[in-house]
Amino acid sequence: MKIAIVHLGNIADLIPVSSVIKNIKKKYDGINITLISEYNELYKYNKLIDRNLLFDEFKENNEYYDLLINLYPYFPEYQCKDITVKKAIGFNYDDGLKQFEDIFFDGKRKYDMNIFQLYYELVGLTWKGEGYDIGYYPRSKTRKNRIGISVANANLRNYILEKLELKDKKMWYIPYKKNVFKKLDEINRCEKIITDDLLIFHLAMNLRKYVYFLETFPINLKLELFNNGEIHKVSLANL
Average pLDDT of the chain to the nearest whole number: 87
Position 61 in a domain: yes
Q: Is the pLDDT of residue 99 over 60?
A: no
Domain that holds residue 74: 2-122
Query: Are 102 and 40 found together in one domain?
Result: yes
Q: What digits encode the pLDDT tens for the residues 31-68?
A: 999 999 999 899 999 999 999 999 999 998 889 999 99
Position 36 in a domain: yes
Query: Are 9 and 116 found together in one domain?
Result: yes
Mean pLDDT of the 64-84 span:
89
Give the HSE-up count for residue 146: Cα atoms under 13 Å, Cβ half-sphere.
Answer: 13
97 versus 182: which is more confidently predicted? 182
Q: What is the pLDDT of residue 168?
A: 67
Q: For the chain, list the strands marked E by DSSP.
A: 2-6, 32-37, 51-54, 64-70, 84-90, 146-150, 170-173, 192-195, 210-215, 229-233
C-alpha to C-alpha distances, 111 to 79, 181, 186, 203, 222, nearest whole angstrom: 31, 33, 35, 25, 9
Position 89 in a domain: yes
Q: What digits encode the pLDDT tens for the residues 37-46?
A: 999 899 999 9
* Position 231 confidence tier, pLDDT thresholds 50, 70, 90: very high
Q: Is the pLDDT of residue 5 over 60?
A: yes
Q: What's the CATH number where 205 sits?
A: 3.40.50.2300
Query: Is the four-CA dihedral 133, 137, 143, 146 of positive or negative sign?
Result: negative
Q: Is the pLDDT of residue 239 over 80?
A: no
| Among 100, 154, 152, CA closest to 122 | 100
* Position 78 confidence tier, pLDDT thresholds 50, 70, 90: confident
Q: What is the pLDDT of residue 111?
A: 55
Q: Is the pLDDT of residue 105 over 80?
A: no
Q: Is the pLDDT of residue 106 over 70?
A: no
Do 83 and 59 meet the contact criterion of CB atoms below 8 Å apart? Answer: yes
Cβ neighbours, 10 Å, residue 167: 9
Q: Is the pLDDT of residue 80 over 50?
A: yes
Q: What is the pLDDT of residue 8?
A: 95
Query: Are 175 and 232 found together in one domain?
Result: yes
Rounded distance between C-alpha atoms, residue 67 and residue 65, angstroms: 5
Secondary structure (DSSP) of 179-205: SHHHHHHHHTT-SEEEES-HHHHHHHH
Q: Which of 89, 122, 155 is the last residue of a domain?
A: 122
Q: What is the DSSP letter of 175?
A: P
Q: What's the CATH number where 112 sits?
A: 3.40.50.2000
Q: Is the pLDDT of residue 76 over 80?
A: yes
Q: How many domains does the chain have?
A: 2
Query: Are 91 and 27 found together in one domain?
Result: yes
Rounded distance between C-alpha atoms, residue 133 and residue 143, angstroms: 22
Whole-model pTM: value is 0.89
